[in-house]
């Protein structure tokens, strides 16, 4: 892709904006919002937890769309998009899992439990990690792109499962915050949200979505730079 001055400027502004949003959301989490009534200070980790989940969710949906688009159009840019989205999505997903474990230790008295929600998230992470293994294992670049696209579609089934599992198995102890559930009165650990909590939560989710898009852009840029260097090297070698 051609280097463009205006695009670089836009990306720079977006990066500044994400840093600003991140600082504000941290301030909101630690100073603006008070400790939660029953869970106390540890509940503050929950904003990052949910924010990171939404970040990874946006990225994995992007990877799914990129996979479908690649198989339809066979344009390399969709493959770059899918790879970038999954790499960053894995990091966000890991933040999601680690913050969840930090929260669970005082609340559930264990770092990890084989609750349906936790199990499906673990499957999701492993599926996308396997995607990177698949890419590393196949040499022919065309075939690698095609298989990666197919596998990113297959792996999305785990994201879907993570979202629907609590409808199939309502016995999860994981609190259901986003979206209504049919059996919300029976779920432990559900908390009513005050205005400040809701504001902080929505702001953090917004922040993480913006950060994920910024990082995605940077990652694609990096991929393009790398390809440019490769092609220049080739040109140099051919001329020499």
State yes or no: residue 149 binds other proteins (CB under 8 A): yes
State yes or no: residue 168 binds other proteins (CB under 8 A): yes
Q: How far is the CB of 59 from other proteins (least distance, A)?
A: 17
State yes or no: residue 126 binds other proteins (CB under 8 A): yes
State yes or no: residue 60 binds other proteins (CB under 8 A): no
Rounded-to-integer distance, Cα 139 and Cα 205, Å? 38
State yes or no: residue 113 binds other proteins (CB under 8 A): no
Angle at 195 between CA 14 and CA 56, to 5 degrees: 40
Q: Chain-centre distance of CA 132, in angstroms?
A: 15
Per CB under 8 A, the list member of 48, 96, 127, 204 interacting with other proteins is 127
Phi-psi region of 47 (alpha: psi -120 to 50; beta: other; left: phi over 0): alpha
Q: How far is the CB of 170 from other proteins (least distance, A)?
A: 9
Task: Report yes or no: 25 and 17 within 8 Å, Cβ to Cβ.
Answer: no
**Near other proteins by CB under 8 A, which window of 7-15, 78-86, 157-165, 225-233?**
157-165
Rounded-to-integer distance, Cα 24 and Cα 59, Å? 23
State yes or no: residue 119 binds other proteins (CB under 8 A): yes
Rounded-to-integer distance, Cα 74 and Cα 92, Å? 28
State yes or no: residue 140 binds other proteins (CB under 8 A): yes
Q: How far is the CB of 160 from other proteins (least distance, A)?
A: 9
- Locate 210 and state its tokens: 């913006």
Q: How far is the CB of 129 from other proteins (least distance, A)?
A: 8
| Closer to other proteins by Cβ: residue 51 or 82 | 82
State yes or no: residue 66 binds other proteins (CB under 8 A): no
**Near other proteins by CB under 8 A, which window of 94-102, 125-133, 178-186, 221-229?**
125-133
- Three-class DSSP labels, 97-151: HHHHHHHHHHHHCCCCCCCHHHHHHHHHHHHHHHHHHHHHHCCCHHHHHHHHHHH
**Near other proteins by CB under 8 A, which window of 13-21, 99-107, 138-146, 223-231?**
138-146
| Closer to other proteins by Cβ: residue 143 or 233 | 143
Bridge partners (DSSP) listed for residue 36: 40
Largest CA distance in the chain: 74
Per CB under 8 A, the list member of 24, 42, 134, 163 interacting with other proteins is 134
DSSP assignment of 34-94 equals: PPBTTTBGGGGHHHHHHHHHHHHHHHHHHHHHHHHHHHHH--HHHHHHHHHHHHHHHHHHH
Interacting residue ranges for other proteins, rule: CB under 8 A? 71, 119-120, 123, 126-127, 129-130, 133-134, 137-140, 143, 146-147, 149-151, 153-155, 157-158, 161, 168-169
């Amino acid at each position: 892709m051609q280097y463009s001055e205006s695009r670089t400027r836009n990306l720079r502004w977006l990066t500044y904006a994400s840093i600003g949003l991140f600082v504000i959301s941290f301030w909101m989490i630690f100073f603006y919002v008070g400790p939660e009534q029953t869970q106390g200070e540890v509940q503050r980790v929950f904003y990052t937890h949910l924010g990171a989940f939404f970040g990874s969710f946006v990225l994995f949906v992007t990877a799914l769309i990129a996979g479908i688009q690649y198989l339809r159009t066979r344009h390399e840019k969709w493959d770059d998009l899918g790879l970038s989205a999954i790499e960053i999505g894995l990091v966000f997903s890991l933040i999601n899992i680690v913050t969840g474990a930090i929260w669970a230790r005082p609340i559930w008295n264990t770092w990890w439990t084989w609750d349906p929600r936790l199990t499906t998230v673990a499957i999701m992470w492993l599926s996308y990690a396997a995607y990177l293994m698949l890419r590393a294992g196949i040499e022919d670049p065309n075939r690698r792109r095609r298989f990666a696209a197919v596998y990113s579609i297959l792996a999305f089934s785990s994201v879907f499962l993570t979202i629907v599992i609590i409808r199939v198995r309502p016995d999860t102890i994981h609190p259901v915050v986003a979206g209504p559930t049919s059996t919300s009165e029976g779920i432990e650990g559900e908390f009513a949200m005050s205005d400040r909590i809701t504001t902080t939560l929505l702001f953090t989710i917004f922040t993480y979505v913006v950060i994920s898009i910024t990082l995605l852009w940077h990652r694609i840029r990096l991929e393009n730079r790398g390809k440019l260097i490769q092609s220049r090297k080739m040109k140099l070698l051919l001329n020499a």
